[in-house]
Homo-oligomer: A and B are copies of this chain.
Amino acid sequence: MISAPKIASFQPPRRVLMGPGPSDVPQRILDAMARPTIGHLDPRFVDLMEEIKTMLRYAFQTENALTFPLSAPGSAGMEMCFVNLVEPGDKVIVCVNGVFGGRMLENVKRSGGVPLVVEDAWGAPVDTAKVEAAFAAHPDAKLLAFVHAETSTGAQSDAAELSRIAQRRGALTIMDCVTSLGGTPVRIDAWGIDAAYSGSQKCLSCTPGLSPVTFSEKAIARIKTRKTPVQSWFLDLNLVLGYWQSAGKRTYHHTAPVNPMYGLHEALVMLCEEGLEQAWQRHARNHEKLKAGLEALGLKFVVAEPYRLPQLNAVSIPEGVDDAAVRSRLLNEFNLEIGAGLGALAGKVWRIGLMGYASRAENVEFCVNALSKLLPARRSAAA
């Protein structure tokens, strides 16, 4: 027998989470996570699932029946969209302007699709003219995939216009709204998006681990008429459909993460109480406040003003400043987490999140104040 290690219970520090997610989780949501576990086939759990579906439809602004939280993180939500909607040989126009567009491209390949890449600079939005041109060159493209809010750069793309282009071409759309849902307007039905996925740990302020997804009737029709089986058992919507469909007819698929669902339910109750439009306004307001503070410190935004995500602020690290040392001091001296750069922007930018419950005036002040103590005094032109 290998003998038992002696390890104590884990006591996490209390951090202020202002990175790219997870964001600050309100105590109400943490408390909900600790409620007694019930069975995943319990009639009360079925009630919970129905309520979560209703509230997610509100968050996504959709009437889509097939709207539910996948029992896995956002990257699995992304994969669910691709493995169900792409068949081997399908042409997919995929927009890459950051890490998550790149991950979409990887998913197209692994699903057997033929990717047609529309590339834009990191920090820029997707160029709709390039997407038009890609469809003109490949009128038989079956799908358009893009990231609404690029978490790696803080740039927001014009989802309404991108979806319009795809619709005119008879193509379906897959949209990543991991970082936008609950923070900036996401309008699945008004825009005509066919498949979208998000994450629980960004502007919904829940703990990480669940991926809200939604699929249009057109998407479901395409999945039901596939010529080849979906390559993943766990993510096959033909099977998941039976699990998440209305009470009474449910078939066993997998054991849902019961307590995390309690947390997501509470997060959505809080969103409904505040109201989506109020949440969007709050995110915009606190972004303005943060922007003023960061600019006063001499920090420059990576993304041009019209495309900036209020909930994810990427700023260039000033010349001569040690990236890791500053983040480490923020964490150790202030218990404040901000995000490092990712991919092409690693070491070059910080990503300051104001997502969900973290989007509060006190967080903005705390962060600007902490940074002001660690950054060299500004030699401003005005001085």
Contact residue among B13, B54, B55, B106 (Cβ-Cβ distance under 8 Å from A44):
B13
Given A13-B38, A75-B234, A7 contacting B51 (CB threshold 8 A) = yes
Question: Which chain B positions have C-beta within 8 A of A98?
Answer: none
Q: Is the CB of A55 within 8 A of B254?
A: no
Interface residues of A in 58-89 (CB under 8 A from B): 58, 61-63, 71-76, 78-79, 83
What are 7 contact pairs spanning A and B, CB under 8 A?
A: A7-B268, A12-B45, A30-B33, A39-B337, A41-B340, A72-B234, A76-B254
Q: How far is the CB of A356 from chain B (nearest CB, A)?
A: 12
The stretch among A136-144, A219-227, A270-278 that forms the contact with chain B is: A270-278
The stretch among A256-264, A295-303, A304-312 that forms the contact with chain B is: A256-264
Q: Is the CB of B337 within 8 A of A255?
A: no
The 5 A-B pairs at the shortest CB distance, nearest first, are namely: A209-B257, A34-B34, A72-B72, A4-B272, A207-B259
**Looking at A44, A231, A232, which has the most chain B CB atoms within 10 Å of its CB?**
A232
Q: How large is the interface on A (under 10, 10 to 19, 20 to 34, 35 or more residues)?
A: 35 or more
Question: Which chain B positions have C-beta within 8 A of A13?
Answer: 36, 38, 44
Question: Which chain B positions have C-beta within 8 A of A41?
Answer: 340
Q: Is the CB of A74 within 8 A of B39?
A: no
A173 within 8 A of B: no
* A residues apposed to B, CB below 8 Å: 1-15, 17, 19, 21-22, 24-25, 28, 30-45, 48, 51, 54-55, 57-58, 61-63, 71-76, 78-79, 83, 103, 106-107, 109-110, 189, 199, 201, 207-210, 229-234, 252-260, 262-263, 265-266, 268-269, 271-273, 275-277, 331, 337, 340, 342
Given A22-B258, A208-B256, A260-B260, A234 contacting B76 (CB threshold 8 A) = yes
Q: Is the CB of B34 within 8 A of A31?
A: yes
Given contacts A72-B72, A208-B258, 15 further A-B contacts (CB under 8 A): A2-B61, A4-B275, A4-B276, A10-B32, A17-B37, A22-B40, A30-B36, A37-B208, A71-B73, A79-B232, A79-B233, A103-B233, A110-B233, A208-B257, A209-B258
Given A30-B34, A55-B5, A12 contacting B72 (CB threshold 8 A) = no
CA distance A214 to B46 in the complex (A): 33
Question: Which chain B positions have C-beta within 8 A of A73?
Answer: 71-72, 234, 254-257
Contact residue among B34, B54, B71 (Cβ-Cβ distance under 8 Å from A5):
B54
Residue of B with least CB distance to A277: B1
CA distance A33 to B25 in the complex (A): 12
Question: Which chain B positions have C-beta within 8 A of A58?
Answer: 2-5
Question: Which chain B positions have C-beta within 8 A of A342?
Answer: 252
Given A260-B209, A272-B5, A36 contacting B22 (CB threshold 8 A) = no
